Amino acid sequence: MSNTRQQDWDPRDEDVQADQIAAYDAMRHRCPVAFSDYLQWSLLRHADVMRVLEDHETFSNAASRHLSVPNAMDPPEHTRFRRLIEPYFGPQAMGEFAPQCRAIAEDVVDRLPANGEVEAMTAMGQDFALEIQCAFMGWPTSLHEPLRAWVRRQQAATLAGDREALGELAHEFDGVIRDLLASRREAGDAAPDDVTTRIMNETVEGRALADEEIVSILRNWTVGELGTISASIGILMRYLAAHPDMQDRLRADPGLLPAAIDEILRLDAPLMSNRRITTRAVKIGDRHLEAGERLTLLWGSANRDEAVFGDPDEVRLDRDPTDNLLYGAGIHVCPGAPLARMELHDFMDALLDATVDIRPLPGRPAVRARYPAGGYAEVPLHVRR
């Protein structure tokens, strides 16, 4: 396959968008390093993605046009900010948040009907994501509905490719965060001792964080969390509804939940991709890329690579967890993974404890999300408690 700029595929094609996972499975065999105007160079094999994750000198994370702390940074700048951020997701922080996390999970699950229909993405996934993220950040419950409306508008603008609207929405979200910062500064010593206030008072290299850096950190945590946690809930509930044997197994042995959650989300990605940019000429597979080329790492394909996982649709709870790229790998592995794992575990544990049966609704199949979202747009189910 020669390095030409003809389109190897169109990721926006309706056949691809109708079922991204199936399309990526096919593309991984046909053209595992594929060019498109939309995603530039897409990497679909596990080995190629791992190579990029482990070689941050050749494959830079600085692929964003906007400040993104620390997501779009390389060492040594990335290292300084990671050192600042990681304690917020360490064992002590997670232990302190655990009782509130469990209480919110149980409260959301308690809203399920005794015996009836539920749309898992909105009634469960989005509710839980909004409430748990605001609680973790120390944000007021009055933000739940404005943030829900913002997420809807952001998703619509993304699907429409409306860059102007996306820019306005980003500015609007940053304004929400700046208002929260301003209210804490006005409160002075009376400001709540929460994650948002603590981030405001952090220093890096002996200097106070600039407001732009604080806003970027809080934006990345919040926007990313709202999307991936709600997508994960939809994927997990839909999978269990389709596999009653797994429901029964997990109810009988809740200790299997952590491995089951990671494995189910391996085969159906809640976060579809990340970006990188080459710093020098490099060969990937049989494609030659120049410096400055943009790459899309397709988690939704790499985590289903038969060369690593065999049958990608087989849920096995004894796999080597280091092969699973659900939270990335290398120096840019998701710092919030401990929080996400705790949230998903508590929700699923509460869900299985509160229900005796979850099943698909006949004639109403789940509707797949469209790129860049992963998982589902709608997951209609029947639950019995």
Q: Is residue 2 part of a domain?
A: no
Indicate the pLDDT class of residue 3, thresholds 50, 70 and 90: very low
Q: Report pLDDT digits (tens) over 80-105.
A: 999 999 999 999 999 999 999 999 99
Q: Is residue 242 part of a domain?
A: yes
Q: Is residue 6 part of a domain?
A: no
**Residue numbers of the domain that contains 154:** 14-384
Contact 211, 184 (CB under 8 A): no
Q: Report pLDDT digits (tens) over 313-361.
A: 999 999 999 999 999 999 999 999 999 999 999 999 999 999 999 999 9
Q: Is residue 3 part of a domain?
A: no
CA distance 313 to 310: 9
Q: Is residue 1 part of a domain?
A: no
Q: Is residue 197 part of a domain?
A: yes
CATH code, domain carrying 215:
1.10.630.10
pTM value is 0.95
Length of the chain measured in residues: 385
- The total of structural domains in the chain comes to 1
Q: Report pLDDT digits (tens) over 216-243.
A: 999 999 988 899 999 999 999 999 999 9
Checking if the pLDDT of 2 tops 80, the result is no
Question: Considering the chain, what percentage of its residues have pLDDT values greater than 90?
Answer: 89
CA distance 199 to 183: 14
Q: Is residue 363 part of a domain?
A: yes
Q: Is residue 246 part of a domain?
A: yes
Checking if the pLDDT of 133 tops 70, the result is yes
**Phi-psi domain of 205 (left: phi exceeds 0; alpha: psi -120 through 50; beta: other):** left
